Structure 1
Amino acid sequence: MAQATRKTTEQIPLTQRLKTVLPFVSALLLLIGATVLVLTLQQRYRDSDSWQLQRVRVEGAMRQVKSAEVLAAMQVQAGMTLAALDLRQLHERVAALPWVKSVSLRRVYPGELQVTVVERTPWLRLNQDELIDTDGNPYAPANVAAFGHLALLRSSHGQLEQAVAQFVGGNDQLKPLGLTIVELDLNGRGALMMTLNNKLQLMFGRDDWDGRLQRFMSLYPGLVADGNVPTYIDLRYDTGFAVAWPQTEKMTNSKTAGL
């Protein structure tokens, strides 16, 4: 009786362990079976004529990007197997188009590839041969000349962030005077010049741009009180300024200044 009692006591832990392990084994077998099924179906999709690419649908609010341009960049053809398409490679090809801000691709079985394009919104011109989008990123489309109405920035790419900041900040400060910047030039030596919408040029030099802009705003109402707008105002002085008028070179507090 003692031996029988010991055998029963030894069998109970083993049974409990089996009950604990069996759910994990079942789950593992189900996972293996599902993986094999997916791989098998995927291979059938790759080889099946019924899953071949029949149509590419290009969608999005596009004014500059053309569907034909997207299709040409992708280099896909009817009859290619839909499941075998390399979406990452196709994404890179479409995203490389100058006017494309972002793109997403999705397989729609049985035979369609859906391409959704988000187009860049032009904001400024850059050095005559590029545009800047509303996110501040430069790009070089073929039709830059069609956007001559946009304000122009002249700057290297290395100084672009600084030039954009001065354009935005300058326009905010000039707004109460009814003035806007139509051209901003930040040259290689760091000297700043602006042309305003009344054709007035402002020369700031390399230092204290914000302070000199404030000085201009304080003197501007008095300068144009008689209705005449200067040709340029040179603010490259610690205290004074120089003013040039359209017909006569009338100078106020002029001093020699160099860039």
Structure 2
Amino acid sequence: MSSSFFNRLLGLVLIAVLLGAGGRSLWVWLDQPIESVAVEGDFRYIDASFLSGQLSPLVSGQHWLSVDLDQLRERAKLIPWIHEARVSRHWPNALTFELEEQRPVAWWNDAFLINAEGHPFSPGPSDTLERMPNLAGPGDRSADVLAYYHVLEARLAPLGLELTQVRLEARGAWRFQVNDTFWVILGRTGLDIRLERFLAAWHRSLSERADRIRYIDLRYPNGLAVGWHGESAAAEVSRQ
């Protein structure tokens, strides 16, 4: 091996060592402790103090360059009321969380809320929850129950009836509550026909006695049964 070749090789090795050392020094210089966190978003149900308390543990002890942004994003999405999150670095030692708040449309199984996509989530502290319908059913059927709620709402609203609860039983039977007062029992099959039967009976006579109704049972081949307040059993079976 000639001396000139050896000298060139040694020079390349030295350059690589210097670049490596410089790269490590640059990384250490850039990877400073996170000093500030900004939060962006349009919030209706949560406030800044709640978010600060939830986000602070996520960034505590983290460094600006080495922090895993994807992991931060996933952890931020676990915060109550957060639907989506994006996290970005800002020179020299700051992070920005862009947070999208959940928009609840109904209660689900009493303890949860669901959003417009039918996804349940745990509610965090909020003083601004408005009145919402109560939906219930098997844990994996929230989207189906919400979809049927919209079907029923579209049929009942023109009659001035407020749909306050919709429930799907474990065995597939449906029922709904009107005006926070009486229940309409649809059962498992023939839902469209049974709903039409209810609407026809409402137009014909039931609307005039709405304050006395305890429940309406549509699980009959050609009619319905009405349970009245003050009576222990259905007092009327009407035929169509």
Bin the TM-score by the shorter chain: 0.7 to 0.9
**RMSD of aligned residue pairs (Cα, Å):** 2.9
Aligned equivalent of 2:77: 95
Task: State the shift of 1:166 in Å.
Answer: 1.4
State the shift of 1:61 in Å. 1.7
Residue 61 in 1 paired to residue 42 in 2?
A: yes
Match of 2:224 in 1: 241
Partner residue in 1 for 2:141? 159
Contact between 1:73 and 1:93, CA under 8 Å: does it hold in 2? no
Name the counterpart of 1:82: 64
Confirm or deny: 8 A CA contact 2:119 2:142 kept in the other structure. no
Instruction: Give the number of equivalent residue pairs.
Output: 217
Alignment equivalent of 1:46, drawn from 24, 27, 32: 27
- Three-state SS of the structure 2 residue aligned to 1:231 is strand
- How many angstroms apart in 2 are the aligned matches of 1:133 and 1:71? 23
**Is 1:121 aligned with 2:103?**
yes
Structure ID, larger Rg: 1
Taking a change above 3 Å as real, the CA distance of residues 236 and 48 of structure 1, as seen in their structure-2 partners, is same
Q: Deviations over 1:107-127 (max 9, x none)?
A: 111121111111101111111
SS at match of 1:253: strand
Give the equivalent residue in structure 1 for 2:86. 104
In the alignment, which residue of structure 2 is the partner of 1:178? 160
Whole-Å Cα distance in 2 between the matches of residues 100 and 194 of structure 1? 30
Contact 1:46 1:81 in 2 (8 A): no
Change (3 A) 1:224 1:40: farther
Residue 54 of structure 2 is aligned to residue 70 of structure 1: yes
Residue pair 2:107, 2:135 contacting (<8 A) in 1 also: yes
Deviations 1:7-30 (Å, cap 9, x if unpaired)?
Answer: xxxxxxxxxxxxxxxxxxxxxxxx
C-alpha distance in 2, partners of 1:135/1:97? 19
Q: Flag structure 2 segments of 5+ consecutive residues without an equivalent.
A: 1-18
Q: Which residue of 2 aligns with 1:216?
A: 198
| Aligned partner letter, 2:77 | A
Q: Which structure dedicates a bigger proportion of its chain to strand? A: 2
User: Compared with structure 1, are the counterparts of its residues 41 and 217 closer, same or farther at alpha carbon in structure 2 (3 Å cutoff)?
Assistant: farther
In the alignment, structure 1 segments of 5+ residues that lack a partner are: 1-36
Matches of 1:145 and 1:238, distance apart in 2: 47
Greater helix fraction, Structure 1 or Structure 2: 1
Structure 1 residue 217, shift from structure 2 partner: 0.7
Q: Of 87, 90, 115, which aligns to 1:133?
A: 115
Compute the TM-score of the two structures, normalised by the length of structure 1. Answer: 0.73
Q: Which amino acid aligns with 1:240?
A: G
Question: Residue 12 of structure 2 corresponds to which residue in structure 1?
Answer: none
On the 8 A contact 1:202/1:234 being kept in 2, the answer is yes
**AA aligned opposite 2:226:** V
CA distance in 2, matches of 1:144, 1:152: 18
